[in-house]
Structure 1
Amino acid sequence: MEDHTEHVCIICGLTKTEGITILSQFICEDCESEMVHTDAGDAKYNYFIHQMRQISMQTHV
Protein backbone atom coordinates (compact mmCIF):
# COMPACT_ATOMS: atom_id res chain seq x y z
CA MET A 1 0.00 0.00 0.00
CA GLU A 2 1.47 3.34 -1.08
CA ASP A 3 1.55 6.39 1.18
CA HIS A 4 0.14 9.42 -0.65
CA THR A 5 0.58 11.78 2.28
CA GLU A 6 2.07 15.13 1.36
CA HIS A 7 5.39 16.09 2.93
CA VAL A 8 7.62 19.16 2.69
CA CYS A 9 10.99 18.39 1.10
CA ILE A 10 13.98 19.61 3.17
CA ILE A 11 15.89 20.32 -0.03
CA CYS A 12 13.48 22.29 -2.25
CA GLY A 13 10.82 23.20 0.31
CA LEU A 14 8.00 22.02 -1.95
CA THR A 15 5.16 19.79 -0.81
CA LYS A 16 5.20 16.43 -2.59
CA THR A 17 3.93 12.90 -2.09
CA GLU A 18 6.75 10.83 -3.63
CA GLY A 19 10.18 10.60 -2.05
CA ILE A 20 12.18 9.14 0.82
CA THR A 21 12.18 9.79 4.54
CA ILE A 22 15.47 9.74 6.44
CA LEU A 23 15.20 10.02 10.22
CA SER A 24 11.78 11.70 9.84
CA GLN A 25 13.05 14.21 7.24
CA PHE A 26 11.51 14.02 3.76
CA ILE A 27 13.39 14.38 0.46
CA CYS A 28 11.24 14.40 -2.69
CA GLU A 29 12.16 12.02 -5.49
CA ASP A 30 13.08 14.93 -7.79
CA CYS A 31 15.68 16.23 -5.32
CA GLU A 32 16.88 12.71 -4.53
CA SER A 33 17.49 12.08 -8.23
CA GLU A 34 19.23 15.43 -8.71
CA MET A 35 21.49 14.83 -5.68
CA VAL A 36 22.52 11.40 -6.91
CA HIS A 37 23.48 12.81 -10.31
CA THR A 38 25.22 15.99 -9.10
CA ASP A 39 29.00 16.03 -9.45
CA ALA A 40 30.97 16.96 -6.32
CA GLY A 41 32.49 19.87 -8.24
CA ASP A 42 29.07 21.37 -9.02
CA ALA A 43 28.08 24.45 -7.00
CA LYS A 44 24.76 22.79 -6.12
CA TYR A 45 26.60 19.94 -4.38
CA ASN A 46 27.48 22.17 -1.41
CA TYR A 47 23.85 23.29 -1.15
CA PHE A 48 22.72 19.66 -0.98
CA ILE A 49 25.30 18.93 1.73
CA HIS A 50 24.11 21.95 3.73
CA GLN A 51 20.49 20.88 3.49
CA MET A 52 21.29 17.25 4.38
CA ARG A 53 23.06 18.42 7.55
CA GLN A 54 19.61 19.38 8.83
CA ILE A 55 18.92 15.68 9.23
CA SER A 56 21.87 15.07 11.53
CA MET A 57 21.24 18.31 13.44
CA GLN A 58 17.63 17.31 14.11
CA THR A 59 18.72 14.01 15.65
CA HIS A 60 20.88 15.82 18.21
CA VAL A 61 18.08 18.04 19.54
Structure 2
Amino acid sequence: HHRRRILFSSQQVEVLQNRFQINIYLSPIEREQLARKLHLSPKQVKVWFQNQRYKKRKKF
Protein backbone atom coordinates (compact mmCIF):
# COMPACT_ATOMS: atom_id res chain seq x y z
CA HIS A 1 0.00 0.00 0.00
CA HIS A 2 1.22 3.44 -0.92
CA ARG A 3 1.38 6.25 1.58
CA ARG A 4 0.59 9.65 0.20
CA ARG A 5 3.41 12.09 0.72
CA ILE A 6 2.36 15.14 2.62
CA LEU A 7 3.47 18.40 1.11
CA PHE A 8 4.13 21.00 3.74
CA SER A 9 3.55 24.64 2.99
CA SER A 10 6.64 26.84 2.91
CA GLN A 11 5.43 28.51 6.11
CA GLN A 12 5.11 25.17 7.88
CA VAL A 13 8.57 24.13 6.71
CA GLU A 14 10.01 27.40 7.96
CA VAL A 15 8.56 26.88 11.43
CA LEU A 16 9.70 23.24 11.49
CA GLN A 17 13.21 24.15 10.38
CA ASN A 18 13.50 26.89 12.98
CA ARG A 19 12.51 24.41 15.65
CA PHE A 20 14.92 21.84 14.27
CA GLN A 21 17.80 24.28 14.52
CA ILE A 22 17.01 24.88 18.20
CA ASN A 23 16.68 21.20 18.98
CA ILE A 24 16.71 18.21 16.64
CA TYR A 25 14.55 16.26 19.09
CA LEU A 26 11.03 17.18 20.18
CA SER A 27 9.34 15.97 23.33
CA PRO A 28 5.87 14.47 22.77
CA ILE A 29 4.34 17.62 24.28
CA GLU A 30 6.31 19.94 22.00
CA ARG A 31 5.35 17.77 19.05
CA GLU A 32 1.70 18.00 20.04
CA GLN A 33 1.89 21.80 20.36
CA LEU A 34 3.78 22.27 17.12
CA ALA A 35 1.35 20.03 15.26
CA ARG A 36 -1.61 22.01 16.56
CA LYS A 37 0.03 25.31 15.67
CA LEU A 38 0.73 24.12 12.11
CA HIS A 39 -2.56 22.22 11.63
CA LEU A 40 -0.68 18.96 11.14
CA SER A 41 -0.91 15.65 12.95
CA PRO A 42 1.71 14.93 15.60
CA LYS A 43 2.72 11.94 13.49
CA GLN A 44 3.48 14.20 10.52
CA VAL A 45 5.64 16.40 12.72
CA LYS A 46 7.41 13.35 14.14
CA VAL A 47 8.11 11.94 10.67
CA TRP A 48 9.35 15.30 9.41
CA PHE A 49 11.83 15.47 12.30
CA GLN A 50 12.95 11.89 11.69
CA ASN A 51 13.54 12.66 8.03
CA GLN A 52 15.46 15.83 8.82
CA ARG A 53 17.71 13.97 11.24
CA TYR A 54 18.29 11.34 8.59
CA LYS A 55 19.20 13.92 5.95
CA LYS A 56 21.45 15.70 8.41
CA ARG A 57 23.33 12.46 9.12
CA LYS A 58 23.76 11.68 5.43
CA LYS A 59 25.44 15.02 4.83
CA PHE A 60 28.32 14.27 7.19
Whether TM exceeds 0.5 here: the answer is no
TM-score by structure 2 length?
0.35
- More helix per residue: 2
- More strand per residue: 1
